[in-house]
């Protein structure tokens, strides 16, 4: 009689942490006045309703891979690691030009990362938080040692530039993080979920369509359902809201950001307002915002930040991380 | 949840409005129109509706929200559903 089969598994790793962030935005700035010349809108209305002053829009030669390579390269440089140290690349995006091949494999190749695991992940505006959760789990279970996580979006290619309800909101950009093993966990448990019953609230219906969203219904959902998810992420990470140094909600709309922050009640936290000059870059917005905050010295290294992703799906995810 | 009196709903609503849009509680009186008198826009109205839902246990869907033009409209709506 043979013994029951028991396969060997890698040793578990205690935790993971983010070693460095990187960001990249296209050079072209589009102001509210620029848009007001094309559609019936104006600067005051956009600022008061959405909170955007200007946004960045990529040119025809600058695709998602290019945006992701720039941001990923900066994060990699900041981490002090070599390309060979990375063994998994995840690109969170919901605005792909084409469904295959994955952006992740092309990005890895462009960065000189040899033969990593590579895949794209679509959880729309919650994509970065989902990807970070996967990176953390991969490191802790021994599937990967160092992971490059990138949120990269070219929303502009899915925008109807004659639709004033959407063209004022969305923008292009990328943010990246290098995640590695840590004896003291720096990525907290993810609280995530989705509600497919509301799938039609934000969608691109088919390959010939543009982004369409039910603004008021999404606003109601985001301002009511998301704060409890964020608070649960704090609870599960063992961090009190008053200990947070930063709150980085998906940069959907300044009013949603402030409504969520108000409910989290973190008096000591800097709240990301990156939307004002970056627009809504969907899955890129959280790492883009946090990377900008770190560059400006707005947030202290080592302190806890709360990341809160939410959007099409409807999908959502939140976790507390240690700022690198 | 206990049925709130007209004054309790007014006070609760005034507190919510102060919290969300920073309008002083004394400004919030029954005859005031949200848009014309208090300068509250439709997105803030959604936030106020969500907060009112938590406080009074009465759901105010977007379809209904459109018809609630004055402070008194909200008080009446909440009272009607609480009964």
Model confidence over A173-203: pLDDT tens digits?
A: 999 999 999 999 999 999 999 999 999 999 9
Q: Quote the number of domains for chain B.
A: 1
Q: Which residues does B66 contact at the CB level (< 8 Å), separation at least 6?
A: none
| C-alpha A272, offset from chain centre | 13
Residue B78 lies in a domain: yes
Cα(A40)–Cα(A55) distance, integer angstroms? 18
Any A CB within 8 A of B47 CB: yes
Please list, residue by residue across A145-171, b when 16 or more beta carbons sit within 10 angstroms of its beta carbon and e when fewer do. Answer: bbbbbbbbbbbbbbbeeeebebbbbbb
Average pLDDT score over residue span A281-307: 98
A234 annotated active-site: no
Q: pLDDT tens, B40-82?
A: 988 899 999 999 888 888 889 888 898 999 999 999 999 888 8
Give one DSSP letter per residue of A288-305, joined into a string. Answer: HHHHHHHHHT-S-TT-EE
Question: What's the pLDDT at A1?
Answer: 66
Judged against a pLDDT cut of 70, whether residue A268 lies above it is answered with yes
Domains and CATH numbers, chain A: 15-182 (3.40.47.10), 191-322 (3.40.47.10)
Structure tokens given for B43 = 């997105």
Question: What's the pLDDT at B26?
Answer: 92
Question: What's the pLDDT at B2?
Answer: 62
A280 annotated active-site: yes
Model pTM? 0.93
Tell me how far CA of residue B28 lies from CA of A270, B10, B77, in angstroms.
31, 8, 17
Cα(A263)–Cα(A182) distance, integer angstroms? 31
Tell me the shortest Cα–Cα distance from B58 to chain A, in angstroms.
14
Q: Which residue has the higher pLDDT, B15 or B82?
A: B15
DSSP A39: S
Residue A231 has φ and ψ, to the nearest 5°, of -65, -35
Chain B residue with minimum CA distance to A260: B47
Residue B68 lies in a domain: yes
Block residue for tokens 């983010």? A18
Question: What's the pLDDT at A95?
Answer: 97
Strand A315-322 vs strand A191-194: parallel, antiparallel, or unpaired? antiparallel
Question: DSSP alpha helices (H): ranges in A86-159?
Answer: 103-110, 127-140
Provide the β-strand partners of residue A191.
Answer: A318
Annotated catalytic residue: which of B41, B54, B62, B73? B41
Q: Which chain B residues touch A49 with a CB distance below 8 Å? A: 41, 43
Residue B1 lies in a domain: no
Residue B52 lies in a domain: yes
Average pLDDT of chain A, as a whole number: 96
Q: Are A311 and A282 in contact (CB under 8 A)?
A: yes
Domain of B65, CATH number, reads 1.10.1200.10
Block residue for tokens 């970065």? A128
Judged against a pLDDT cut of 90, whether residue A160 lies above it is answered with yes
Question: What's the pLDDT at B1?
Answer: 53
Q: Which chain B residues touch A224 with a CB distance below 8 Å? A: 50, 53
Cα(A156)–Cα(A169) distance, integer angstroms? 10
Q: What range does the domain containing B25 cover? A: 6-82
Q: Specify whether the backbone of A24 is left (phi greater than 0), alpha (psi in -120 to 50) or beta.
A: beta
Residue B70 lies in a domain: yes
């Amino acid at each position: 009689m043979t013994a029951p089969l028991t396969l060997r598994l890698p040793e578990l790793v205690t935790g993971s942490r983010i070693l460095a962030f990187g960001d990249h935005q296209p050079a072209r700035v589009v102001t509210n006045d620029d848009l007001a010349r094309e559609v019936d809108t104006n600067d005051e209305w956009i600022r008061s309703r959405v909170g955007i002053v200007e946004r960045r829009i990529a040119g025809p030669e600058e695709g998602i891979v290019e945006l992701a390579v720039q941001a990923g390269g900066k994060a990699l440089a900041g981490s002090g690691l070599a390309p060979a140290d990375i063994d998994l690349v995840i690109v969170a995006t919901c605005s792909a030009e084409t469904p295959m091949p994955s952006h992740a494999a092309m990005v890895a190749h462009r960065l000189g990362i040899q033969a990593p695991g590579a895949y794209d992940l679509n959880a729309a505006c919650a994509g970065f938080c989902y990807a970070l959760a996967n990176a953390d789990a991969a490191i802790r279970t021994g599937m990967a040692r160092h992971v490059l996580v990138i949120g990269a979006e070219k929303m502009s290619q899915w925008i109807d530039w004659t639709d004033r309800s959407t063209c004022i909101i969305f923008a292009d950009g990328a943010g990246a993080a290098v995640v590695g093993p840590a004896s003291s966990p720096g990525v907290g448990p993810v609280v995530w979920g989705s509600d497919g019953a509301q799938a039609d609230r934000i969608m691109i219906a088919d390959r010939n369509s543009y982004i369409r969203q039910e603004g008021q219904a999404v606003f109601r959902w985001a301002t009511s359902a998301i704060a409890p998810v964020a608070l649960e992420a704090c609870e599960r990470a063992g961090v009190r809201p008053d200990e947070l140094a930063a709150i980085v909600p998906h940069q959907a709309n300044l009013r949603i950001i402030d409504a969520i922050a108000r409910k989290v009640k973190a008096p000591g936290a800097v709240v990301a307002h990156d939307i004002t000059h970056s627009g809504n870059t969907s899955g890129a917005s959280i790492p883009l915002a946090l990377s900008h905050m770190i560059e400006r010295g707005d947030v202290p290294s080592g302190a806890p930040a709360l990341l809160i992703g939410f959007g099409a799906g409807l999908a959502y995810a939140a976790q507390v991380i240690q700022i690198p | 949840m206990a049925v709130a009196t007209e004054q309790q709903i007014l006070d609760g609503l005034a507190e919510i409005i102060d919290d969300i849009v920073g309008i002083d509680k004394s400004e919030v009186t029954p005859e005031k129109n949200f848009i014309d008198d208090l300068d509250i826009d439709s997105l803030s109205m959604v936030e106020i509706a969500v907060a009112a839902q938590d406080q009074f246990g009465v759901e105010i869907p977007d379809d209904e929200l459109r018809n609630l033009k004055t402070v008194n409209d909200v008080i009446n709506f909440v009272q009607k559903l609480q009964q």
